Amino acid sequence: MTRDFDVILYGATGFTGRQTAEYFARNAPEDLRWAIAGRDRAKLDALADDLSRAPAGVVVANGLDKDAVSAMVARTRVLATTAGPFSRYGDHVVDACVFHRTDYVDITGESPWVRRVIDRHHAQASADGTRIIPFCGFDSVPSDIGALALVQQLRARGTGTARVEGYFTGKGGFNGGTLASARAMGESGWLEEVADPSLLNPAELRPDPHAERDPEAPKRIDGRWMAPFMMGPINTRVVRRSHALASLRGEGYGRAFTYQEWMDCGRGLKGLATATAVGAGMAAMAPLMASDSGRSLLGRFGPDPGQGPSEKTMDGGFTRCRYRAIGEDGGELRAELFARGDPGNRVTVLFLCESALALALDRQALPEGGGVLTPATGIGLRLLERAQAAGVKFEVQR
């Protein structure tokens, strides 16, 4: 089937969507046919005029209009979307991508919604070879691709992987779309599902006997104080799904592979105080999100959808993750990923756009197979290579 576009960027007039459009304007190859899409023609036209390079097209589609979404998706080989909350605006988009065999990437962190996407679509997408890949932003590319890189390094040494841990630090802000997605999960009554450590595993590998519960208290590791990481309940499930899907292909990470991650709060009493405060904040968040009054309170004090950090804040931020892997032979391997820019915006945009470009341009270099996949199983280390070419640093300490 002939498609009008190689990539459509859906939700392009939102806070994060505008950044994806500008990323494509600066970085997409000249011959790539890409378009911006959303529900408001006037805003899309204004965005197209503001970009440093005009897109090949502008497409209007409201995420709640099934027919309009289907018509949009039928025109492209790859659909990249930032239009959340995905539990509210994502169903028609994913349904259409599976129906039209259009590859899909997004930046969702709404893991219970993805569980439902898996249940509805994994079998058909797998049969057709269509790649439906959620979690292509800050959650959960550094976790998923970093773990894969270490697993493959250990495999090259002749051993499986017993355990990987990630220790995150970063600086930046968050936008209204992120807050709206978190509130939507609370409104949907899905917070208990978030706590399931093997939520995203294939049905035949649930429950996972090796999956750990999320940390609840500070812990001292290598002389540094670690706190429960806010994104851990999302990222760990994604890495576990990657291992589970690989296991079904006979390429599992290890016989009893485990993955966990933390927020690195530093050394000494200051590190302990920070880790304790972060842990207390994490413990308070779930009750807030579960109640109408709590969600209302967060909505009053947080940014509205379409709003987010200043350019200075986003440019001045960073993401750093240190990884520690233990092989089944007892050997240890460490690595570090570093990316400049605010994690939830600049880094998310980079990973999403490079994921879409990998699907559009590098299909022959990607892992085989379709389904509701993860960055590691749908794009693999080609995504890390693209991210490194775009300025992300990743170093394995040999």
The reply to whether 25 falls in a domain is: yes
Quote the strand ranges of the chain, DSSP E: 5-10, 34-38, 57-60, 76-81, 103-106, 131-133, 161-171, 219-221, 224-228, 258-266, 318-327, 332-340, 371-372, 393-397
CB 132 within 8 A of CB 279: no
In the chain, DSSP finds a helix count (H) and a strand count (E) of 16, 14
The reply to whether 232 falls in a domain is: yes
Tokens, residue 146: 């970093």
135 HSE (CA, 13 A, CB side): 35
CA distance linking residue 169 with residue 323, whole number of Å: 12
The reply to whether 113 falls in a domain is: yes
The reply to whether 385 falls in a domain is: no
Pair 297, 367 in one domain:
no
Does residue 85 have a cis bond before it (omega within 30 degrees)? yes
Pair 263, 369 in one domain:
no
- pLDDT value for 169: 96
Pair 174, 298 in one domain:
yes
**Residue matched to tokens 């898996």:** 118
Pair 103, 176 in one domain:
no
Pair 164, 101 in one domain:
no
Average pLDDT, 10 consecutive residues per value, the chain (398 residues): 93 96 97 97 97 96 96 98 94 98 97 97 98 97 98 97 97 70 68 90 93 93 94 96 96 96 95 91 74 67 70 92 97 97 94 98 96 98 98 92
- pLDDT value for 10: 98
CA angle 348, 16, 320 (to 5 degrees): 25
What order of strands is seen across the sheet that includes strand 371-372? 57-60, 34-38, 5-10, 76-81, 103-106, 131-133, 371-372
- pLDDT value for 124: 98
Q: Structural domain of residue 179, as residue ranges?
A: 141-343+390-397
CB 187 within 8 A of CB 282: no
Pair 357, 338 in one domain:
no
CB 231 within 8 A of CB 273: no
Pair 317, 283 in one domain:
yes
pTM of the model: 0.94
Non-local (6+) Cβ contacts of 49 within 8 A are: none
> What is the chain's Cα-based Rg?
20
Non-local (6+) Cβ contacts of 132 within 8 A are: 94, 97, 98, 103, 104, 117, 121, 122, 125, 370, 371, 372, 373
Pair 98, 190 in one domain:
no
CB 215 within 8 A of CB 232: yes
300 HSE (CA, 13 A, CB side): 7
CB 82 within 8 A of CB 11: yes
Q: Give the number of domains in the chain.
A: 2
Pair 315, 352 in one domain:
no
Pair 220, 298 in one domain:
yes
The enclosing domain of 19 has a CATH number of 3.40.50.720
CB 144 within 8 A of CB 242: yes
Among 307, 309, 288, which residue's Cα sits nearest to residue 183?
Answer: 288
The reply to whether 384 falls in a domain is: no
Non-local (6+) Cβ contacts of 116 within 8 A are: none
CA distance linking residue 16 with residue 36, whole number of Å: 13
Pair 366, 332 in one domain:
no
The reply to whether 318 falls in a domain is: yes
**Residue matched to tokens 């970063």:** 170
Pair 359, 333 in one domain:
no
CA distance linking residue 378 with residue 381, whole number of Å: 10
Please, is 51 exposed, middle or buried when counting C-beta atoms within 10 Å of its C-beta (0-12, 13-18, 19+)?
Answer: middle
